[in-house]
Amino acid sequence: MGNVTVTAPAKAILVGEHFVVAGCPAIALALDIRAKATAELLNEDVIEIVSKEFGIRRYGGKETRVEDPLYPVYLVVKEVLKLAGSNQGLKVVIESNIPPAAGLGSSAAVAVATASAVAKLLGLNASLEEITRTAYTGEVEIHKKPSGIDNTVSAYGGAIYFSIGKGFERLDVNFSQVRLVLADSGIQRSTGTLVARVLALKSKHSSVLDQVYAAATVLVENTRDALEREDFTAVGELMNINHGLLSAIGVSNAKLEELIYTARQAGALGAKITGAGGGGMILALCWREDAEQIAMELSKASTKVLMTSVSEKGVTLESG
Ligand code: PMV
């Protein structure tokens, strides 16, 4: 068999990040920004991972854990090999247009694309559920205890209503009237560290924060209703309220607030942190015709601004 190329989308959490870790629901959107994995059989007994950004790694199959951005990709490959009952040597080439460590689920998209490309290369007819599960192995390595929302939305595409333990539903929404604008704060952060900090604050001030978590649950349900009515004005208002709740649990900062207020003043329907916060990107929901102007205003305060749409396509076989 020749090469197999698969792509998978980035994600943005529309509402519910952090609260989702404690069992509340959240809604995530797949974005029109993709990661690509190309898998190829090798005659040697080795797993080779190649990335333009991080270089080439060769693994013999018995490695112990190493701190390396490509190690989680290797774990995903091993997991698929286990599923196929195979020891086949192979090479995976990763190319991603998704900015890393910015809250856009780049690692999950790479893991999903890799799992799917390797499965197809090995002739395994893996379900989306199996792809999501194998990709999660890589996410655990990176984020310690991730909710699983990133790999789920990257595999299935569209808008996903998700809660831990209860699974997910794909929402039927037409997003053609709106665009998403993302602006980078330029501040690097670790999801694992922020999640741990939020959980510590929650247990210290549980009598107060339990109410915030309860409000977040209602907020996500109301956002789901608003999406299903395609009432994007209400979705934007709920995003703004969600941002207030994220500030309450301590994951905003002055730079993120600057970007969020810039987007709102430029006419965004709603603007908030997306993902773990502390840095990374902000997400603004805009009417299609306003998006360019809002992106322009944001580019005065941010080094990287992306304008994108919701991707109905999840993991996709491109060739092979
Ligand atoms: O910033 P990201 O893309 O790593 O997203 C983190 C989202 C959290 O809800 C904070 C954690 C999680 O595992 O869902």
Q: pLDDT exceeding 70 applies to what percent of the chain?
A: 98
- Using only C-alpha atoms, what is the Rg of the chain? 19
Q: Are residues 96 and 118 in the same domain?
A: yes
- Of 14, 7, 12, nearest to 30 by C-alpha is 12
Q: What is the pLDDT of residue 177?
A: 97
Q: Are residues 242 and 183 in the same domain?
A: yes
Q: Is pLDDT at 144 greater than 70 in this prediction?
A: no
Residue with the nearest Cα to atom 7 of ligand 1?
275
Nearest-angstrom CA–CA distance, 285 and 269: 5
Q: Are residues 269 and 157 in the same domain?
A: no
Q: Domains in the chain: how many in total?
A: 2
Q: What is the pLDDT of residue 2?
A: 85
Q: Are residues 160 and 45 in the same domain?
A: yes
Q: Are residues 228 and 282 in the same domain?
A: yes
Q: Are residues 109 and 156 in the same domain?
A: yes
- Chain centroid to CA 56: 24
Q: Is pLDDT at 220 greater than 90 in this prediction?
A: yes
Q: Is 231 a catalytic residue?
A: no
Residue 143: pLDDT band with limits 50, 70, 90: low
Q: Are residues 90 and 239 in the same domain?
A: no
Q: Are residues 113 and 256 in the same domain?
A: no
Per-residue H/E/C for 152-214 = HHHHHCCEEEEECCCEEEEECCCCCCEEEEEEECCCCCCHHHHHHHHHHHHHHCHHHHHHHHH
Global pTM value: 0.92
- Of 151, 68, 163, nearest to 116 by C-alpha is 151
Q: What is the DSSP-derived secondary structure letter of residue 266? A: T
Q: Which residues line ligand 1 (CB under 6 A)?
A: 13, 17-18, 20-21, 103, 105, 143, 146-147, 149-150, 191, 195, 275-276, 280
Q: What is the pLDDT of residue 148?
A: 85
Q: Are residues 163 and 184 in the same domain?
A: no
Residue 22: pLDDT band with limits 50, 70, 90: very high
Mean of the per-residue pLDDT values of the chain: 94
Q: Is pLDDT at 190 greater than 90 in this prediction?
A: no
pLDDT in tens, 255-287: 999 999 999 999 999 999 999 999 999 999 999
Domain that holds residue 144: 3-172+313-319
